[in-house]
């Protein structure tokens, strides 16, 4: 394991799987007879907002019954103890990185425990259910609150900041993501262009596995603590 200064970690649904949150593409499950992929779109929200509110309210509710796992905690440990920089970007909308101890988490696909008002543009932290009838705490208008989630066809958050970190990283680690959804699936190539070493952790292969210098196959709850130990050991 080489010595590094600037690490970027990208996580996907797989890192939260061992906490009991179903992933998107290998769950094979339907939700109230709907494919979740067909709910996560602006078109679905326009067509049937009640369905979309119910889906995200249920997922927000589920967060009360799950907790961070050793994978989340290993990343937080690296962020605390590594002498250089560790930038964490997640596609996950849960808050398990924060609950695992991470103080810096870049949520490029938004957050379940947040609402966005389409009238005034304000964002609100919330652990409660909300829907069409819920007034915005800022502008008091009802009918404008939507889940603060980046849906298919929408622009991910924080792209400029992410690109800056990718352009100067010397180690890129991707964990538990299927490499099917861009722009995140393309981050490995940006890191390679910056000359970084690249490591993938996944219980399977992903759509972009061949781009990585190293593939470590297995559960992130086991492999991440091991990798963090190696990185911290190499820097000692």
Least distance between ligand APR and beta carbon 143 (Å):
25
Catalytic residue at 109?
A: yes
Say whether 204 counts as a known binding-site residue. yes
DSSP string across the chain: ----SEEEEEE-THHHHTTT---SSSS---BTTB-HHHHSSHHHHHH-HHHHHHHHHHHHHHGGG----HHHHHHHHHHHH-SSEEEEEE---SSHHHHTT-S--EETTEEEEEEEETTT--EEE-SS---TTPBPTTT--BS-EEEEE--TTSPPTTHHHHHHHHHT-SEEEEES--S-STTGGGHHHHHHHTT-EEEEEESS--TTGGG-SEEEES-HHHHHHHHHHHHHHHH-
Least distance between ligand APR and beta carbon 89 (Å):
11
Q: Which of 51, 181, 192, 194 binds ligand APR (CB under 6 A)?
A: 181
Say whether 169 counts as a known binding-site residue. no
Nearer to ligand APR, 144 or 219 (CB): 219
Only one of the segments 50-58, 95-103, 159-167, 201-209 lies at the binding site for ligand APR (rule: CB under 6 A); that segment is 201-209
Q: Which of 109, 124, 158, 165 is catalytic?
A: 109
204 binds ligand APR (CB under 6 A): yes
Say whether 90 counts as a known binding-site residue. no
Binding site for ligand APR (CB under 6 A): 12-14, 17-18, 23-26, 91, 109, 176-178, 180-181, 201-204, 206, 219-220
Annotated binding residues, as ranges?
12-31, 56, 59, 91-94, 117, 120, 136, 139, 176-178, 202-204, 220
Q: What are the catalytic residues? A: 109
């Amino acid at each position: 394991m080489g010595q590094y200064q600037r690490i970027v970690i990208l996580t996907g649904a797989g890192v939260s799987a061992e906490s009991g949150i179903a992933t998107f593409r290998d769950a094979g499950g339907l939700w109230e007879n709907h494919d979740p992929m067909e709910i996560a779109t602006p078109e679905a929200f326009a067509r049937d907002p009640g369905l979309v509110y119910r889906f995200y309210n249920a997922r927000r509710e589920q967060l009360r019954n799950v907790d961070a796992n050793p994978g989340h905690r290993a990343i937080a440990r690296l962020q605390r103890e590594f002498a250089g920089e560790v930038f964490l970007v997640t596609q996950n909308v849960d808050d398990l990185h924060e609950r695992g101890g991470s103080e810096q988490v870049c949520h490029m696909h938004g957050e379940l425990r947040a609402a966005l008002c389409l009238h005034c543009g304000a964002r609100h932290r919330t652990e409660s259910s909300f829907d069409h009838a819920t007034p915005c705490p800022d502008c008091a208008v009802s009918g404008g609150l939507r889940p603060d989630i980046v849906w298919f066809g929408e622009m991910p958050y924080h792209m400029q900041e992410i690109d800056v970190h990718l352009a100067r990283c010397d180690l890129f680690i991707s964990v538990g993501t299927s490499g099917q959804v861009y722009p995140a699936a393309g981050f490995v190539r940006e890191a390679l262009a910056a000359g970084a070493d690249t490591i993938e952790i996944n219980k399977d292969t992903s759509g972009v596995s061949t781009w990585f210098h190293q593939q470590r196959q297995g559960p992130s709850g086991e492999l991440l603590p091991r990798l963090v130990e190696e990185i911290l050991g190499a820097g000692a």
